[in-house]
Amino acid sequence: MTREDIFNDIATEQAKYPELADLNSTSKVSIWYLIRWIFSEMFLIVLEYFDLHKSEVETIIEAAPYATLNWYRARAKEFQLDDALTEINGRFIYATTDPEKQIIKQVAIVSNNRYLIFKIAKEVSNELTACPADEITKFKGYINQIKYPGTFVYVESNPADLLILNFKIEYNALLNLADVQTTVNATLNNYVKNILFNGKFNVTAAIDELQKLREVKNPFFVSATGRTNAQSIGEAQSFSQYYQATAGYMKIETLTIEYVPI
C-alpha cells in the first residue's frame, strides 16, 4: 500500500458521510487536504513498522528450534565431552565448536509419550562402540539442559548386538577357496557395518550383496540368530528375514558357511 492509496481510501470513506461534504476542497493547502496527507504519511509509517515487526518475528520463528526427533538427533551429535554450555539469548549452546570433543557418532531416538529414549554410540578405530558410564551421565546432563520442559530423557549405550549367521554358497570352482572365503567374509561384515543405525539386518539384502560377487554362483541362507551383548547364546533370537539390534548396531559373532564348488 502506498501513501496515495491511503489518501484515496480516506476520500472514499469520507464520501460515505454526506455531512462531511463541506470538507471537500480542490485546494492543496486546505486544512482537510493537509490533514489527509499527514494522516496518510503517519499511517504508512505505522504499516512499515508492522511489516518490519512481522519480518523480525518470522525470522525468530524460523530460527527457533522445534522439538522434533530430527532436532534432538542433530543436537545430540553436537554434544562436546567435558564442555560447559553457555546461555546466549535464552538458548544453551557451546561458546566454541570443537569437533574433537564431539564423541557421539551415531544416535537414534525413540519417542514414548513424554519419554525420549536416546540410543548412542561412539567410534573407536572406525568401529562403533558403547560409551562408558561417565560419558553417558554427561551426555544425559547435556540433553536435560537443552530439552524442552516436561520431557523425560532416558539414555542407553550398549555394546553391539551379536549375530550368528549360517549360509551355503556355491562358488566358482576355478577360484582359490581361501580367496573366495576372504571376499565373502569381508562382504558380509561390510554389509552389517553399514546398516543404518537402529536399522535392521535384512537377509534378502545380505544375499543381494553376495550375489554381486563374481566369485559366488549361488548364495543360500540357512539360519541366523541375534542377541544383545548381555544375553547368552541360549537366549538368542532366531530370525529368517529381519533382526533389529537393541543397541542400535550389530556385528557378526560367528559366521558359518558351507562352500560348494561348481
Check residue 66 and give its pLDDT: 61
223 and 242 together in one domain: yes
Please give the share of the chain, as a percent, with pLDDT higher than 70.
92
Check residue 65 and give its pLDDT: 58
Check residue 22 and give its pLDDT: 64
195 and 208 together in one domain: yes
Beta bridge partners of 57: none
Whether the CB-CB separation of 124 and 104 falls below 8 Å is answered with: no
Please give the share of the chain, as a percent, with pLDDT higher than 90.
66
What would the mean pLDDT of 169-183 be, rounded to a whole number?
A: 97
Radius of gyration of the chain, Cα coordinates, nearest whole angstrom: 34
Check residue 34 and give its pLDDT: 76
Banded model confidence at residue 258, pLDDT cuts 50, 70, 90: very high
10 CB contacts (<8 Å, ≥6 apart)? 36, 39, 40
Q: How far apart are CA 204 and CA 167, in angstroms?
A: 12
Q: Kindly state the DSSP code that residue 146 receives in the 8-state scheme.
A: H
32 and 97 together in one domain: no
Check residue 251 and give its pLDDT: 97
Q: Kindly state the DSSP code that residue 64 receives in the 8-state scheme.
A: S
For the record, the C-alpha cell of 91 comes out as 538458548
252 and 167 together in one domain: yes
**23: burial class by Cβ within 10 Å (0-12, 13-18, 19+)?**
middle
Please determine, for residue 230, whether its predicted confidence score (pLDDT) is greater than 90: yes
Least confident of 87-91, 96-100, 130-134, 232-236: 87-91
Tens digits of per-residue pLDDT, 15-38?
Answer: 777 766 666 666 665 777 778 778
Identify the domain boundary among 130, 156, 182. Answer: 156
15 and 105 together in one domain: no
165 and 240 together in one domain: yes
Total domains present in the chain: 3
168 and 255 together in one domain: yes
Check residue 113 and give its pLDDT: 78
Domain that holds residue 46: 3-63
Check residue 16 and give its pLDDT: 78
From residue 29, alpha-carbon distances to 2, 6, 24, 40, 219 in Å are 21, 18, 12, 15, 96
Q: Which residue has the cell 525420549?
A: 116
248 CB contacts (<8 Å, ≥6 apart)? 106, 108, 119, 120, 121, 197, 198
Please determine, for residue 87, whether its predicted confidence score (pLDDT) is greater than 90: no
Tens digits of per-residue pLDDT, 37-69?
Answer: 787 888 888 888 888 888 876 665 556 556 688
Helix and strand element counts for the chain (H, E): 6, 12
Please determine, for residue 208, whether its predicted confidence score (pLDDT) is greater than 90: yes
112 and 149 together in one domain: yes
Check residue 39 and give its pLDDT: 78
Identify the domain boundary among 131, 156, 181. Answer: 156
Please determine, for residue 256, whether its predicted confidence score (pLDDT) is greater than 60: yes
20 and 36 together in one domain: yes
Identify the domain boundary among 86, 121, 156. Answer: 156
What would the mean pLDDT of 168-197 be, rounded to a whole number?
A: 97
169 and 151 together in one domain: no
Q: What's this model's pTM, rounded to 2 decimal places?
A: 0.72
Check residue 26 and give its pLDDT: 63
Q: How far apart are CA 248 and CA 262, in angstroms?
A: 38
49 and 94 together in one domain: no
118 and 26 together in one domain: no
Banded model confidence at residue 6, pLDDT cuts 50, 70, 90: confident
Whether the CB-CB separation of 121 and 103 falls below 8 Å is answered with: no
For the record, the C-alpha cell of 5 comes out as 492509496
